[in-house]
Amino acid sequence: MSSIPLQPGALGTPNEQARENYLNIKHTVASWLLTKDHKRIAVLYGLSISIMFFLGGLAAAGIRVALVRPHDTFFSSEAYNKLFSAHGIIMVFFFLVPSIPATLGNFLLPIMIGARDLAFPRLNLLSWYIYIIGALITLGAIATGGIDTGWTFYVPYSSVYSNTDVVAVIVGVFFAGFASIFTGINFLVTVHKMRAPGMTWFRMPLFVWAMYATSIVMVLGTPVVAITLLLVVLERVFGVCIFNPACGGDPILFEHLFWFYSHPAVYIMILPSMGVISEVITCFSRKRVFGYEFVAFSSMAIALLGFFVWGHHMFVTGESMYGGMVFSIITFLIAVPSAIKVFNWSATMYKGNVWLSAPLLYAIGFIFLFTIGGLTGLYLASLAVDVHLNMTYFVVAHFHYVMVGGAIFGYMAGMHFWWPKITGRMYPEGWAKLACIIMFVGFNLTFFPQFILGFLGMPRRYHFYPPEYQMWNILSSAGASVLAVGFAIPFFYWMWSLKYGELAGPNPWGAKGLEWAIPSPPPSHNFDSVPIVTEEAYAYEEIYARELAGDYSDSQVDRPVSPLNTEQPDQKTLEDHSSTEESL
Amino acid sequence: MSSAQLEVAPQRLAHQFEDIDQQNECYIVGMWTFLVTEIMFFGALFLALTVYRSVYPNSFFEAHLALNKWLGLLNTFILLTSSFFVAMGVRAKMLGQNSATQFWLGLTILCAFGFLGVKYVEYSAEFREHHFPGPNFHFVATQPPGGDLSANSQVASGQPNISSRDFPAGYHPQQLELHKRQLFFSLYFVMTGLHGLHVIIGILVLGSIWFLIRYKHPSVDDYMTLELAGLYWHFVDIVWIFLYPLVYLIGRQ
C-alpha cells in the first residue's frame, strides 16, 4: 500500500520488542497522564471505557436479577429505577459513544492516513480529561444516591419532580459530550488536512470514512443535547421556565431537541463498528471490498439521513400525523444505506479465500445481529405497529441488538483484529473464538426473549410484571449470565496475552493498510518517513493469487488452509475474481 | 490571509505537521468546526424561541415590549465596533506591529466590558421589575414602556383564542398569561446570559493574548493565535446580530 519497505523477518523477534515503541519509550505515570501521543491516549480511553463498561454491566446484572421474579423483593422499586437509569447513562454516554472512536479511532486514524498524529494532540488529551471529569461526577452522583429519570432525562420529571441528583449527572453527561465534540473536531480536521501524499479520499480505508461520518454526527449533534440538558439544569436550579408544562412550556420540545442528538447518537455507536467490519471482512476474505464507493457513501448517507428521523421516537406523543408519516418514510429510507453495507460485506466474502479467524467470527456475528436489529427497527418505524410496540421490551430488544449486537461485536472484532498492532502480542485464537460463540449465544438468549415479551405487551422500565411473562424473563436473565461469561473471557486472555502472547510481527494477518506497514507496537512518531500512497485500499489481488497457488507466507501467523486450496488453483476462479474487481 | 504571511516572523511548526501551511489550515478549519458546534448550541435556543413565539404570539409580543430596544441597539453598535477593532488587531499582528496589536486589542476588550456594562444596566432594570422567572415573577402588561397600548390590545382582542387554545381547563387565565410571559423572559435570560458568558470567555481569551504579547511569549510570535481568537470574537458578535432582532425587535409594529 505504501512505499515503506516491510521489515523482513516474518514473526517478531525478541530484538523487535527491545525496539523503541510508543509503549516502552517512557514508563513514568506522568508520561502517560501528560502524553500527547494519540496511541497512548487511545490506551487511556480504552482502559477508562472498559471500567465504565464493567460498571454499566453490573447495573444490567441488577436489572436482570430483579426481573427474574414478577414481584421482585430483592431491590426496592426506587433502587430498580436507579439501576436502569445508571445502566443507560453509563453505557450510552460513557461507553458506547466514545467506544470505537476514542480507542480504535484515536489509535488508527492518523496511522491509516499516514499522519504522525492527530491535528490537535493537546485537544485530544483534553478530551480524555474532560471525559474522566464527567465520568467521575456521574459516578459520584450515582454512588451517593443515584438518579431515577432513565438515560433520557424526560421533563418535567427530571426538571421538576425527581428527588434524585439530576443536576450532577447531567453535568457529568455535559462534560462527556464535550469530550466527544473535541474528538469529532480533531478527526474532521485530521482527515481533511493531514492525509499523506497520494492518500486521496477514495484511497482511504473504509474505517476512516466511517470515522469521518461519525465525527460529523458528533460535531453537529452533541451541542444540541448539551444545551438541552443545560436548560433542564437551569429549570431545576433557577426555576426558569422552558419545558415545564405548568408554566406554559412544552415537554415535547425537550423530546425533539433530545432526540435530535440522541437518534444520530446511535449512528455514532454503529457507524464506527461498520467501519471495523469493512476492514475485517476484506482482510479475511482476501478480496477488495465489493463496491468501495457505495460502502463509503452509505456511511455518509447514514450520518446525514440520521439527522432527519428523530421524530420516530415521538409517534405516540401527539405529534402531527403528517410529521409522523414523513419521519416514518425517512426512517425506512435509512434502511437502504444500511442494507447496502450488509449486501456489500456478503458480496465481499463471496468467492473470497475466507479465513475464519476470531475477528471475522465477531464480524459475522455483527452482520447477523445487526440485520436482526435493523429489520426490527423497521417494525418500530411503521406508524401503526409502533402504537402497539412503543415503550415495550420490543424497543429494548431492538436497540440492544443494534447497540450491543452491533456496536460491541464490532468493537470486539476491531479489538481482536488490531490487538497485535496495539500490544505487539497475539491473543489466544481458540479462546477468542470460544468467547465469541459464548457471547453470541448469550446475547441471543438474553435479548431474543425480549422481542417476544415486548410483542406480548410487557412495558419497559417497570419493576413488576404479570406472572405470565416470567418464563421469558427467566430465559433472558439466564442469557445475561452467559453473556457476562462471554464478556469476561476476553478480559482474562487479553491480560494473559500482554505477557505470554506470541510476538506479533508487523503484519500478522497479511492485511493491507498503512498501519500494517509499520512495526507493532508502532513507534511514537508512527512513520520514519512520510509514506507515499500508490495503491487504493484493499488491493488484495496479489495475496489472493499467491494463496490460491498455495503460498501462505503473507500471513505471519499460522492460518489454516481453506478448502479452496486443496485443489489446484483454478484459473476460472482467478478470472472471476479479477473481473469482479474491474466491474467495480 | 496567506498573502501577508511573507511578512510575518517564522512560525513554530508542531511535530505532527509537514509545513506551516498545513498547520495554519488545520488551525483555521478546526476553529471553524468548533464554531459550527457553537452554532448548533445556540441553534437549539433559537428553535425554542421560534416555537414558543409561534405558539404564544400575543404574550411574547407584550413581554418583549418590556425590553429596552435602545440599549440593545447601543450594544449592537458596541459589538460591531469591537469586531472592527479585533480585525484591525489581527492585521497589525500580521504586520508584526506588536504595540499596535495591543492598542487594538485593548479597544476590543474595552468594548466587551462596555457591552457587559450595558447588559448590567438592562438586567438590573429587569430584576427590579421582577422580570426574572421564578416564584417572584411579576409582569404588568398594562404599561408597556414606550409601547403602543392600543395596537397591542387590538392584536389581543382580534385573535382571542390563540393564546389559550393549547391549555387544558383548570388554569387561571391571568396566571396563564403570566406564565407565558415568564416563558419569554426565561428564554431571554438564558439566551442573553449564555451570550454574555461567551463575551466573558472572549474577554479572558483576548486579555490573555494581550498579556502574552506584552511579555513577548513565544506562543504569540505569529498571528495565528490572535487570528483564531478573532474568529471566535466575530462569532460572538454574529450571535448577537441574530439575538437582537429576534428578541428585542420582532413583533414591534
Residues A155, A224: Cα–Cα separation, whole Å: 16
Q: How many A-B residue pairs are in contact by the CB < 8 A criterion?
A: 111
A105 Cβ partners below 8 Å, 6+ apart?
A42, A183, A187, A207, A211, A214, A272
**Number of domains forming the structure of chain A:** 1
- Interchain contact, A189 vs B33, CB within 8 Å: yes
pLDDT score, position B253:
40
Handedness of CA A316, A318, A322, A327 (dihedral sign): negative
Here the cell at position A272 is: 464506527
Residues A156, A172: Cα–Cα separation, whole Å: 20
DSSP A67: T
Domain assignment of residue B22, yes or no: no
Q: Give me the residue from A190, A192, A242 closest to B186, CB to CB.
A: A242
Interface confidence (ipTM) of the complex:
0.89
> What angle (nearest 5°) sits at the alpha carbon of residue A487, between those of residues A483 and A489?
115
> What angle (nearest 5°) sits at the alpha carbon of residue A154, between those of residues A150 and A159?
105
Give residue B58's domain range: 30-162+172-249
pLDDT score, position B66:
86
Alpha carbon separation from A120 to A29, A208, B14, B199 (Å, rounded): 22, 17, 10, 25
Residues B102, A454: Cα–Cα separation, whole Å: 66
Give residue A129's domain range: 19-583
Q: Is A242 on the interface with B (CB under 8 A)?
A: yes
- Interchain contact, A240 vs B42, CB within 8 Å: no
- Interchain contact, B179 vs A241, CB within 8 Å: yes
Domain assignment of residue B225, yes or no: yes
CB A526 within 8 A of CB A20: no
Amino acid at B19: D
**pTM greater than 0.80:** yes
Task: Residue B234: count other Cβ atoms within 10 Å of its Cβ.
Answer: 16
Domain assignment of residue B6, yes or no: no
Domain assignment of residue A3, yes or no: no
Q: How many Cα atoms sit within 13 Å of A71 on the Cβ side?
A: 2
Domain assignment of residue A297, yes or no: yes
Q: Is A188 on the interface with B (CB under 8 A)?
A: yes
Q: What is the pLDDT of residues B200-224, one digit of tens each?
A: 999 999 999 999 999 988 888 888 9
Q: Which residues in chain B are contacts of A190 at CB distance < 8 A?
A: 26
Is a pLDDT exceeding 60 seen at residue B146? no
Task: Give the CATH number of the domain where residue B211 resides.
Answer: 1.20.120.80
Write out B101-161 in H/E/C secondary structure.
HHHHHHHHHHHHHHHHHHHHHHHHHHHHCCCCCCCCCCCCCCCCCCCCHHHHHHHHHHCCC
Domain assignment of residue A354, yes or no: yes
Q: Which residues in chain A are contacts of B51 at CB distance < 8 A?
A: 250, 253
**Number of domains forming the structure of chain B:** 1
- Average the pLDDT over A289-318 and give the result: 94
Q: Is A219 on the interface with B (CB under 8 A)?
A: yes
Domain assignment of residue A541, yes or no: yes
- Average the pLDDT over A321-342 and give the result: 94
Give rounded-to-5 percent helix, strand, coil for chain B: 75, 0, 25
Task: Residue A491: count other Cβ atoms within 10 Å of its Cβ.
Answer: 12
Residues A183, A176: Cα–Cα separation, whole Å: 11
pLDDT score, position A246:
82
Residues B1, A535: Cα–Cα separation, whole Å: 35
Residues A390, A386: Cα–Cα separation, whole Å: 5
Is a pLDDT exceeding 70 seen at residue A109? yes
Residues A500, A426: Cα–Cα separation, whole Å: 9
Write out A148-170 in H/E/C secondary structure.
CCCCCCCCCHHHHHCCCCHHHHH
Here the cell at position B161 is: 383564542
Alpha carbon separation from B69 to A160, A172, A214, B118, B189 (Å, rounded): 33, 38, 43, 12, 15
Q: Give per-residue burial for B69-97: e unless 16+ CB within 10 Å, then b.
A: beebebbbebbebbbebbebbbbbbbeee
Q: Give me the residue from B43, B133, B176 closest to A240, CB to CB.
A: B133
pLDDT confidence of B176, banded at 50, 70, 90? low
Amino acid at A97: V
Domain assignment of residue B21, yes or no: no
Residues B95, B116: Cα–Cα separation, whole Å: 31
Q: What is the pLDDT of residues A49-73, one digit of tens each?
A: 999 999 999 999 999 999 999 999 9
Domain assignment of residue A398, yes or no: yes
Q: Which residue has the higher pLDDT, B159 or A558?
A: A558
Domain assignment of residue B7, yes or no: no
Q: What are phi and psi of B119, to 5 degrees?
A: -60, -40
User: What region does B10 belong to: left with phi over 0, alpha with psi -120 to 50, or beta?
Assistant: beta
Domain assignment of residue B57, yes or no: yes
Domain assignment of residue A1, yes or no: no
Q: Where are the alpha helices (DSSP H) in A382-469?
A: 383-389, 393-400, 409-423, 429-456
Work out the minimum CA distance from B148 to partner chain A, whole angstroms: 26
Domain assignment of residue A69, yes or no: yes
pLDDT score, position B4:
45
Task: Give the CATH number of the domain where residue A395 resides.
Answer: 1.20.210.10
